[in-house]
Amino acid sequence: MSSFGYSKFRDIYDEEHFVKRLQNDVRVVNKAPDFIMERFGHNLSNVFNFKIKAWSSSTYYKDVVLPKLVEERFIRISPFANRLSFDAPPVVQRLRCLVNFEALKFSNPIATLSETLISRMRERSAESNGKYIAVHLRFEEDMVAFSCCVYDGGDEEKKEMDVAREIGWRGKFTRRGKVIRPGIIRMNGKCPLTPLEVGLMLRGMGFNNKTAIYLASGKIYKSEKTMAPLLEMFPLLQTKETLASDEELAPFKNFSSRMAALDYSVCTYSEVFVTTQGGNFPHFLMGHRRYLYGGHSKTIKPDKRRLAILFDNPRIGWKSLKRHLLNMRAHSDAKGVEMKRPNESIYTFPCPDCMCRLNKTTHSKPIHTR
């Protein structure tokens, strides 16, 4: 349902740096040797595709995948994300960290514009000594449609969301026996927060109208209407579109991954990162910030089940709401330094397995890693 173009690895990351950084651990090639491809008629689709279950154990790779690799000499693994469990041996965990936090460095065009955006964001945060908070808002049309949540748009919203769901996920939400209960989805904390809800949450947590905010987001659903209250509460709010000129953004505009990379970079160097919805972006970013800042990073990850109860209570007054929200923020601050528990993502909780470097600060340094 998106008109965004396709990006290759080298469009987003510095390919040369990636290969060089990993040369002592693994050998990276950008194409399979001809003598191997001859067996498959030089057609990658003829190569055996090993469909591995998500979060498979290292024992499964040793006992099942390796024999097939020895037999075939070359295999594909697709899909590739999340195919290995997080209870892998330390040497594998170290390699994961090395790849994610050291080898992946944004390509020069992305890194250059990112540094410009960060610099401009700090200039606009002069009253707070260049410190700003970053908010990841997931209120794009496709996110709202996928969530199956109901907002206040009535029949018009329902028609738009039905069309968006059919275009993006043909038949997934209309198959026989499929029951969608928006109220339960909301009470389970699965609905994307609206810009208004984000504004109320932040004001209740003690951020005032002088707070400099960077908003990381795609195209907001009905932005002219939905963004108005958030902008009224936080007039210093900026986005990549307000910080950069049309000419500067032109090479990135039609590529969602490159636009997300710009957001990721500006969020990485914020004083506080506020996540409003799950997904890879906040999970990787929280881990990356912990890695950069010696295990600690100021992150606000609201309890959305509790938020739903608070926001849907018609009798709650501002004083009471604010008290609850301040407690929620204090809880997030207390969890800023968090260690990885068994089976949790090493990408989100890199400490202590990734040998986090204490007292290291990178606020004044240019962006070197993703």
pLDDT tens, residue by residue, 100-153: 999 999 999 999 999 999 999 999 998 899 999 999 999 999 999 999 999 988
CA–CA distance, 263 with 213 (Å, rounded to integer): 12
Nearest to 239, CA basis, from 231, 247, 364: 231
CB 136 within 8 A of CB 282: yes
State residue 315's pLDDT score. 94
Q: Is the pLDDT of residue 363 over 60?
A: no
The DSSP string of 357-370 is -TT---TTSPP---
Of 349 and 337, more confident: 349
SS3 sequence, 148-210?
CCCCCCHHHHHHHHHHHHHHHCCCCCCCCCCCCCHHHHHHCCCCCCCHHHHHHHHHHCCCCCC
CB 111 within 8 A of CB 369: no
State residue 132's pLDDT score. 97
CB-count exposure of residue 211 (10 Å: 0-12, 13-18, 19+): buried
Q: Is the pLDDT of residue 28 over 80?
A: yes
CB 114 within 8 A of CB 265: yes
* Strands 272-275 and 299-300, sheet pairing: parallel
CA–CA distance, 54 with 306 (Å, rounded to integer): 30
Nearest to 333, CA basis, from 297, 307, 360: 297
Which helix (DSSP H) or strand (DSSP E) does residue 92 occupy?
helix 90-97
* Strands 272-275 and 133-136, sheet pairing: parallel
State residue 294's pLDDT score. 77
State residue 218's pLDDT score. 93
**Residue 352: band (very low, low, confident or very high) from pLDDT cuts 50, 70, 90:** confident
**Residue 81: band (very low, low, confident or very high) from pLDDT cuts 50, 70, 90:** confident
* Residue 24 token pair: 């002592």
Question: What are the φ and ψ backbone dihedral angles of 71, each rounded to 5 degrees?
Answer: -70, -45
Question: How does pLDDT run across 211-262, given as a tens digit for each residue?
Answer: 999 999 999 999 999 999 999 999 999 999 999 999 999 999 999 999 999 9
β-strand partners of 18: none
Question: How does pLDDT run across 260-283, given as a tens digit for each residue?
Answer: 999 999 999 999 999 999 888 999
State residue 337's pLDDT score. 61
Q: What is the mean pLDDT of residues 339-346?
A: 76
Q: What is the pTM of this model?
A: 0.89
Q: Is the pLDDT of residue 366 over 70?
A: no
Q: What is the mean pLDDT of residues 304-326?
A: 95
CB atoms within 10 A of CB 300: 22
The overall longest dimension of the chain from CA atoms, in Å, is 73
Q: What is the mean pLDDT of the chain?
A: 89
State residue 91's pLDDT score. 85
SS3 274: strand
State residue 174's pLDDT score. 85
Q: What is the mean pLDDT of residues 18-36?
A: 91
Q: Is the pLDDT of residue 47 over 90?
A: yes
CA–CA distance, 341 with 346 (Å, rounded to integer): 9
β-strand partners of 220: 140
CA–CA distance, 108 with 367 (Å, rounded to integer): 10
- Amino acid present at 278: G
β-strand partners of 76: 49
Measuring CA to CA, how many Å separate 352 from each of 42, 61, 284? 44, 26, 16
CA–CA distance, 221 with 317 (Å, rounded to integer): 28
- Amino acid present at 305: R
